[in-house]
């Protein structure tokens, strides 16, 4: 029997990565992919109607307000999407007896930990974006729906805008750039996160109440290390050469304060879902040609 799975925000990086994976799982899951045009998650009646019409058994919420710096001056909209709308989804899931799989962020933490963050460590967000995402998590916990919250970090994919595409753009216009070397975490390929979300759907019978998991690729790097790896691959793939110089966060001021340590402890995720989490360099190499291809199409 197929499970009916509603995906919100399906045109974003994670949503498109799920769309790419979905055909492999068509025997088990009927995915209903929606973005704001088909389902605006700020509209509770529209959510209920969609749940009823499509007999939704699980919601994957890939919709969010993700413009981290803009959120500092667009507070109301950030909270509307990241807290209020998430509360609507949780309420609708609770009423329908459906499970909610929700994606959150490393920016719920303040980066002060000396050890990788485990899912049970206390959030202390530094930015409006981080605070609004933490408020969304709390709304789910209050709702009483069955839910899985997956926190991820440094997401990239062949789709939309992300750090890898920004580096490719800079590589084609500049001879050298400075990239922050004192913020440490790990890049996450959206397709690897999408794979985990499918595992969560497959093992949903083993989950109860609200579970929190952390997911990133394995390994550790700074934005500078990530940029160096991207530039090396870009030189091979596109013949573009760009020198990367390490700089400090203080030399690259942004509207939102970011945690300088975002490393996740992935052991609970790997154990509970019996998965090997790919190293960030392997995932980047695996998808790099496709990202370059899409980047060249984007700028054409």
Ligand X SMILES: NC(=O)c1ccc[n+]([C@@H]2O[C@H](COP(=O)([O-])OP(=O)(O)OC[C@H]3O[C@@H](n4cnc5c(N)ncnc54)[C@H](OP(=O)(O)O)[C@@H]3O)[C@@H](O)[C@H]2O)c1
Among 3, 13, 143, 183, binds ligand X (CB under 6 A): 13
Edge-to-edge, what's the strand order for the sheet holding 58-61? 29-33, 3-8, 58-61, 99-105, 146-152, 210-215
In this chain, which stretch among 37-45, 90-98, 175-183, 249-257 interacts with ligand X, using CB under 6 A? Answer: 37-45
| Shortest reach from residue 67's CB to ligand X, in Å | 8
Could you tell me what percentage of the chain is helix, strand and coil, using 3-state DSSP and rounding each to the nearest 5? 45, 20, 35
Helices 128-143 & 85-96 angle (0-180, nearest 10): 20
**From 65, 129, 159, 224, active-site residue:** 129
Q: Using CB under 6 A, which residues numbered 119 to 158 contact ligand X?
A: 133, 152-155
Rule CB under 6 A: is residue 213 a binding residue for ligand X?
no
Annotated active-site residue 107? The verdict is: no
Q: Contacts from 44-53 at CB under 8 Å and sequence distance 24+?
A: 44/88, 44/91, 44/92, 47/88, 47/89, 47/92, 48/92, 48/95, 50/6, 51/6, 51/92, 51/93, 51/95, 51/96, 51/98, 52/96
Q: How far is CA 281 from CA 102, 222, 256, in A?
A: 26, 13, 27
- Contact between 89 and ligand X (CB under 6 A)? no
Residues in contact with ligand X, shown as a per-residue x/- string from 184 to 203 under the rule CB under 6 A: --------------------
Q: What CA–CA distances, in Å, run from 45 to 91, 137, 205, 257? A: 11, 21, 28, 35
Contact 108, 125 (CB under 8 A): yes
| 66 touching ligand X, by CB under 6 A | yes
Instruction: Report, in Å, the least distance between residue 239 CB and ligand X.
Output: 28
8 lies in the binding site for ligand X (CB under 6 A): yes
Out of 5, 6, 7, 9, the only residue in the binding site for ligand X (CB under 6 A) is: 9
Nearest CB to ligand X, comparing residues 103 and 179: 103
Residue whose CB is less far from ligand X, 240 or 281? 281
**Helix or strand or coil: residue 300?**
coil
Q: Is 62 in the site for ligand X (CB under 6 A)?
A: yes
Note whether 217 binds ligand X by CB under 6 A: no
Residue 81 interacts with ligand X (CB under 6 A): yes or no = yes
Cβ 30 to ligand X shortest distance, Å: 20
Q: Interface with ligand X includes 278 (CB under 6 A)?
A: no
Given the structure tokens 């995915």, which residue do they identify? 31
Residues that bind ligand X (CB under 6 A): 8-9, 11-14, 35-36, 40-42, 62-64, 66, 81, 103, 105, 133, 152-155, 160
Positions marked catalytic = 129
């Amino acid at each position: 029997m197929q499970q009916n799975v509603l995906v919100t925000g399906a045109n974003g990086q994670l949503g498109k990565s799920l769309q790419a994976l979905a055909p492999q799982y068509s025997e088990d899951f009927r995915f209903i992919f929606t973005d704001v045009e088909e389902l605006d998650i700020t509209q509770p009646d529209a959510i209920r109607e969609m749940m009823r019409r499509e007999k939704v058994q699980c919601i994957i919420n890939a919709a969010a307000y993700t413009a981290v710096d803009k959120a500092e001056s667009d507070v109301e909209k950030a909270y509307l999407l990241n807290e209020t709308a998430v509360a609507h989804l949780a309420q609708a899931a609770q009423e329908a007896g459906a499970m909610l799989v929700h994606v959150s962020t490393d920016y719920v933490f303040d980066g002060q930990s000396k050890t990788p963050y485990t899912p049970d460590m206390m959030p202390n967000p530094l930015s409006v974006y981080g605070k609004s995402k933490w408020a969304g998590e709390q709304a789910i916990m209050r709702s009483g729906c069955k839910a899985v919250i997956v926190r991820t970090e440094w997401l990239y994919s062949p789709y939309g805008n992300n750090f890898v595409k920004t580096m490719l753009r800079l590589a084609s216009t500049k001879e050298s750039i400075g990239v922050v070397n004192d913020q440490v975490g790990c890049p996450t390929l959206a397709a690897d996160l999408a794979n985990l979300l499918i595992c969560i759907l497959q093992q949903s019978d083993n989950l109860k109440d609200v579970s929190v998991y952390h997911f990133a690729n394995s390994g550790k790097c700074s934005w500078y290390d990530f940029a160096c790896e991207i530039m090396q691959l870009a030189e091979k793939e596109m013949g573009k050469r760009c020198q990367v110089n390490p700089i400090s966060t203080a030399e690259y001021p942004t509207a939102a304060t970011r945690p300088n340590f975002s490393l996740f402890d992935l052991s609970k995720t790997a154990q509970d879902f019996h998965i090997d989490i790919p190293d960030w360099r392997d995932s980047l190499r695996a998808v790099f040609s496709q990202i370059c291809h899409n980047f060249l199409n984007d700028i054409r």
